Amino acid sequence: MCVRRWNFAAEAIMCGSPMANTDLMPTPGAFDPVPTPRDITPRADGRVDLIGLPKARIRDLFEAAGLDAKAAKLRSKQVFHWLYHRGVTEFEAMTDIAKTMRPWLTERFVIGRPEVVEAHHSTDGTRKWVLRTADGNDFEMVFIPDADRGTLCISSQVGCTLNCRFCHTGTMRLVRNLTPGEIVGQVMLARDSLGEWPKGSMAGLDEVEDSAEYTSDGRLLTNIVLMGMGEPLYNFDNVRDAMKLVMDGDGLALSKRRITLSTSGVVPMMERCGEEIGVNLAVSLHAVRKDIRDEIVPLNKKYGIEELLQACADYPGASNARRITFEYIMLKDKNDSDEDARELVRLLKQYDLPAKVNLIPFNPWPGSDYETSLPERIRAFSDIVFEGGISAPVRTPRGRDIGAACGQLKTAAEKKSRAQRDREAAEAAEEKSAA
């Protein structure tokens, strides 16, 4: 995951019964199958976690649990508001719901959050959380505060199937898609941690909310980037459903203009991303030559640079006011020459792209194959792109001391599982030699 992404947030940035079998199932569609749980993860106590579910789904569950249609509609509206807009974690706190109704809800439903396994605070203010799903998969989330905004970098998958050579997440063995609840749950957890839910009384849904209380002004968390672990466009439906909750005016109420989705170039899903989610797009370009991009972003062998840039040119909603961000990692003697910079400008102009470029100094991790470009090389590269009329700021790594910088995200659980495997191998070898 990354560090610089945070910086461009402002401009850029079940059916069936709840008790149905919810084993992992393959992602439908034409791409690499990634295991994904159904939208309602089963719980040992049989209750259903409402987080991640849209209002209509909550209404259906209430009706299935015995409320008549009218009551189910009203209650789902109230509960939705309390869950996503007010951030309450107990049904008891829902003061406009009859006292007798609250235990009924508590017996059948829960209001979940991802479990926090670790929380780190960097000397530069960056915060990183290691989170755990109910079935024991770890993933990470990072918050990067800046002078004028605070950006939350969230994960869309546990690990990533794409194996970009410079990215630590790409080396993870464990992979599954995160559910809508696990995705939106990250934003909710961040608001919990930052103390940023609206406070004050709420007598009823028709009450006119106090604007000072309910706008995002003054909040630390202003922007979201889907730049943590995983490839969001390989988990399209869940990411879309989660973002809809984030953007819903009666939900988390964050503008689509403050959300940026980063893709390594899953061309067939880009148009739907613009149409169905409508957020800002960031593209991990990283190289302008086929041989180099094939090496560092292996997905390039499937969807090449020209195809990718054409999909960017066709991205719904892109304009000079809403430019596409091209992420370019600076790897010493790999993709950082003057010639590369000139070719970058030429390509972006050829496709007439409303573009800005983010130059990201490579963040090394143990065992990585590359070195970071020298600062003067990065400056020279940036100057050439600027002279070509395209903004190309260099992103300062943030949170390196806590392993929160772009590309450094790889969970302790994964590291532990490898350590565990090593221990088991050593124990097995000992047993063998003892026998």
286 vs 398, beta carbon nearer ligand SF4 = 286
What are the CA-CA distances from residue 43 to residues 46, 49, 158, 360 (Å)? 5, 8, 20, 41
| 72 interacts with, out of ligand SF4, ligand SAH, none, CB within 5 to 8 A per kind | none
When the beta carbons of 78 and 335 are compared against ligand SAH, the nearer one is: 335
Selection from ligand SF4, ligand SAH, none that 159 binds (CB < 5 to 8 A by kind) is none
The residue type found at 1 is M
Name the active-site residue from 160, 327, 406, 414: 406
Nearest-angstrom CA–CA distance, 182 and 38: 12
The residue from 11, 140, 182, 295 that is catalytic is 140
Distance (Å, rounded) from C-alpha 332 to C-alpha 241?
39
Residue 295 touches ligand SAH, criterion: CB under 6 A: no
* Cα 240 off chain centre by: 11
Q: Which of 139, 406, 410, 414 binds ligand SAH (CB under 6 A)?
A: 406
Which secondary structure element, helix H or strand E, spans residue 418, and what is its range? helix 412-434
Nearer to ligand SF4, 78 or 156 (CB): 156
Residue 85 or 293: the one with the smaller Cβ distance to ligand SF4 is: 293
Region from 43-51, 119-127, 332-340, 357-365 binding ligand SAH, contact rule CB under 6 A: 357-365
Q: Is 269 in the site for ligand SAH (CB under 6 A)?
A: no
213 by DSSP, 3-state: which?
helix
For 253, left (φ over 0), alpha (ψ -120 to 50), or beta? left
Is 406 catalytic? The answer is yes
Residue 362 partner contact from ligand SF4, ligand SAH, none using kind-dependent CB cut-offs of 5 to 8 Å: ligand SAH
Is residue 308 close enough to count as binding ligand SAH by CB under 6 A? no
- Report in angstroms how near the CB of residue 226 gets to ligand SF4 at its nearest: 10
Q: Please tell me the distance from the alpha carbon of residue 112 to that of residue 327, in angstroms, as a whole number.
A: 34
Amino acid at 212: A
Q: Which residue, 164 or 283, has its beta carbon nearer to ligand SF4?
A: 164
Contact yes or no for 79/50 (Cβ under 8 A): yes
Q: Which helix (H) or strand (E) element contains residue 35? A: strand 35-36
Q: Determine how many CB atoms are found less than 10 A away from the CB of residue 146.
A: 16
Rule CB under 6 A: which of 177-236 touch ligand SAH? Answer: 227, 231
Out of 144, 407, 413, 414, the only residue in the binding site for ligand SAH (CB under 6 A) is 407
DSSP state of 119: E
From ligand SAH, ligand SF4, none, which one binds at residue 163 (CB under 5 to 8 Å depending on kind)? ligand SF4
- Say if residues 235 and 178 touch (Cβ distance below 8 Å): yes
- Could you list the active site residues? 140, 406
Q: Which residues bind ligand SAH (CB under 6 A)?
A: 1-2, 160, 166-167, 227, 231, 262-264, 284, 327, 329, 360, 362-363, 406-407
